[in-house]
Copies of this chain bind each other. A is one copy, B any other.
């Protein structure tokens, strides 16, 4: 069953008394080759389980069929969902995905970028680290004719196709929902000022308030640094100690929302009756805590799929193709941490 030596075109050619080139063309049904020869070759190849040597093919075509995927961290539900989408789409077209982590550090990001460049990937999908504020290391890819797609955390300093989630609309929807439910004083625990996401979500928050005749009360807006549960806990404490504490929290991410929830539970403040909470990102654990966490879903899988499609398009149709910007919807998922309608 298992030969020591993998079957090659040469073997087939010798066996069939044909030239290697003829066999090669026959397998591709090249018009230069007669129907009979094609059938002969294909039958023989099938029968003996010929499978082209990928190394040789790739070498010849100087294509690695590898694409690089750079993400802040692998062990993270949102990113692993993206990865899953990328891999599924990539495999469908015969590409492998090399996963690299930046660990949210721009230095690591530069390191893996260089490694990907050296390993001659056919393309790159990247979600920037929180630290990244300049993208010179990415422009090297373009210089080397390697297409890049940005997803999720993107930089507008760098003109590539992009796949992002409509953070603004998701946030707007969430805050509007809170207002419609009758919550009056909505706090926002937001992310860092240099992160586009945070800004977009803040914008959604602000505009939803304004649309409902309120204006942003800066006392109700807190800026997280690391987006941890502790920060959520801490800011909840601060906010709930105000003379007029908020009656709802819209948090930049679920983990922070859970920190808020923890504080409220400790203080025996009822969620959702006294205070409502909405998070962002739809982490698994939001379904498990109780009350379950109302959140905004980010379609990670679709982001991955779409990004890979855009990348394939760039790879095949060249760098001249326009740099599309795909915006996916972030939808509110209503759960127990907000009042019933």
Please report A residues at the B interface, Cβ cutoff 8 Å. 1-2, 51, 53-56, 58-59, 62, 64, 66, 74-77, 80-81, 83-84, 87, 91, 96-101, 115, 118-120, 140, 143-145, 229, 255, 258, 262, 265-266, 284-285, 287-290
Contacts and interface: CB of A to CB of B under 8 A. Distances in A.
A75 B80 contact: yes
Contacts of A258: 288
Given A59-B59, A75-B80, 14 more contacts: A2-B143, A2-B144, A53-B62, A54-B119, A54-B120, A55-B55, A74-B80, A75-B84, A83-B99, A91-B115, A97-B98, A229-B288, A258-B288, A262-B288
Nearest to A62: B55
A119 B55 CA distance: 9
Closest 5 CB pairs of A and B: A2-B143, A285-B285, A59-B59, A55-B59, A75-B80
A55 B120 contact: yes
Contacts of A96: 66, 96, 98, 119
Nearest to A77: B75
A95 B97 CA distance: 12
A35 to B, nearest CB: 27
Contacts of A120: 53-55
30 contacts: A2-B140, A2-B143, A2-B144, A53-B62, A53-B120, A54-B64, A54-B118, A55-B55, A55-B59, A55-B62, A55-B64, A55-B120, A58-B59, A66-B96, A74-B80, A74-B87, A75-B81, A83-B99, A87-B101, A96-B96, A96-B98, A96-B119, A97-B99, A99-B99, A229-B287, A265-B290, A266-B290, A284-B285, A285-B285, A288-B289
Nearest to A66: B96
Contacts of A140: 2
A156 to B, nearest CB: 23
Nearest to A301: B75
Contacts of A54: 64, 118-120
A115 to B, nearest CB: 7
A140 to B, nearest CB: 8
A263 B55 CA distance: 56
A58 B65 CA distance: 14
Given A74-B84, A84-B74, A118 B51 contact: yes
